[in-house]
Amino acid sequence: MKNMKWIMAVVSAFLLLVGVMAVRAGDTNEVKTAKPKPYPLDTCLVCDMKLGDMGKPYVFVYKGQEIKVCDKSEEADFKKDPKKYMKKLAEEEAKLKKSPTP
């Protein structure tokens, strides 16, 4: 009888864990399907070169923000210090908002 209680407790804990993981997986899918914020610059966030001069830009999403860089290798540079580049993006975006459009 003690073994049966133990088995039921383990099975219940397992089912609870599976349920929690399923809910979290659902949350992840919602984030992936949400449309990212568009990239506002016409230059690479990592090297500052004009996007498109060296071919099609490499595009990825970081925390809901679309990021464009010259090529895939620069994504690795971005991921080494994302706070630095996100700060740079915010500063450049603020400059764009302040300057009058031609």
Rounded-to-integer distance, Cα 101 and Cα 40, Å: 14
β strands within the chain, DSSP E: 58-62, 65-69
pLDDT higher than 80, residue 91? yes
Q: Is the pTM of this model over 0.75?
A: no
Distances (CA, A) of 31 to 35, 44, 47, 89, 94: 8, 25, 28, 21, 26
Q: Give pLDDT tens digits for 5-55.
A: 777 777 777 767 666 666 555 544 444 568 999 999 999 999 999 999 889
pLDDT-above-90 percentage for the chain: 55
